[in-house]
Amino acid sequence: MSETTGTRTVTGRALAVLDTFDAKHRRQSLASIARRADLPLTTTHRLVHELEKQDALVRGSDGDYEIGSKIWRLGMLASVHADLREVALPYMEDVYQLGSDAVQIAVLDGFRCLIVDRIAGSRSLEVMSKPGSRLPLHATGVGKVLLAHGGSELQHAVFNSLDKFTDQTITDPGLLDSQLKSIRTQGFAWTREELAEGAISIAVPLRGKGGNVIAALGIVAPSDGRDLGKMVPVMQVTGAALSQKLVEAGLGETVRPQSELN
């Protein structure tokens, strides 16, 4: 144990715990956190328990921990997310006014997508997405767009962990890979009750400087028989126009959570 461990303040030790999480350590066991923070296991257990109560950390079903919603909400205040939201908001409002139940924008966050902003009214169905939510890539429209353009390393990692949420969730790697190829060719993604029963979605890529896909724009609606197909051209035109604005705003690199920018 480091000689400085005993002299750290409680705040310093809590930040040391949070600092153990990075792009290569998104999920960690308690022992891993203690080792990387250079803290006794008992101290780490106490700090992690308190951070979990405050939603700064969340414990998965396997017992490992990852960054919680409170940290992501604070990360929304970062300029990179603020810029993205500011540029995208008028376009999201335009799509919403056309009768969409919910409009959302998401960025890639490791093996999940992070909902940066969302517009929904009283008519919107109950969905799992809200600003700060981290949703699976393989079961959401915005997630599939980001996964399709995320590269082979990301795709292979996701293929090894295809959780099932409904009877419609695609858990076959071959089938999902074929769908990702179609998304890249057609320029949009479509899901039908793959994350939640009763919900369907459409999403399109948003590109920055150099043509990089830096985010995804999507709509979510009830699967009540309505024809969402007519919204595909609208979403594609909106996505192209918004992409041009993102280029003009200088957003060209993949937008990442604040924890990865340090």
Q: Residues 55-113: pLDDT tens digits?
A: 889 898 889 998 887 776 666 555 557 788 889 999 999 999 887 789 999 998 878 88
Neighbours of 72 (CB within 10 A): 23
Q: Which of 68-77, 139-148, 149-158, 187-196 has the lowest mean pLDDT?
A: 68-77
Q: Is the dihedral of CA 168, 187, 92, 146 positive or negative?
A: positive
| Dist. CA 156–CA 31, nearest whole Å | 27
- Sheet strands side by side (includes 112-120): 134-136, 112-120, 102-109, 213-222, 199-207, 189-192
Question: What is the structure's pLDDT at 159?
Answer: 94
- Residues with Cβ < 8 Å from 21, sequence gap 6 or more? 28, 66, 67, 259
Q: Are 103 and 96 in contact (CB under 8 A)?
A: yes
| Dist. CA 188–CA 41, nearest whole Å | 47
Task: Say whether 129 sits in a helix, a strand or coil.
Answer: coil
Tell whether the model's pLDDT for residue 236 goes beyond 50: yes
What's the average model confidence in pLDDT over 202-224?
91
Which of 208, 73, 214, 199 lies closest to 141, judged by CA?
Answer: 199
Question: What is the structure's pLDDT at 175?
Answer: 97
12 strand-pairing partners: none
| Dist. CA 128–CA 180, nearest whole Å | 23
Which of 255, 262, 261 lies closest to 106, judged by CA?
Answer: 255
Question: What is the structure's pLDDT at 3?
Answer: 39
Q: Residues 160-189: pLDDT tens digits?
A: 889 999 999 999 999 999 999 999 999 999
Indicate the pairing of strand 199-207 with strand 213-222. Answer: antiparallel
> Average per-residue pLDDT in the chain?
85
Phi and psi at residue 176, in whole multiples of 5°? -65, -40
Residue type, 144: K
Could you tell me the pTM of the whole model? Answer: 0.71
Q: What is the DSSP letter of 251?
A: -
Tell whether the model's pLDDT for residue 23 goes beyond 60: no
What's the average model confidence in pLDDT over 231-254?
88
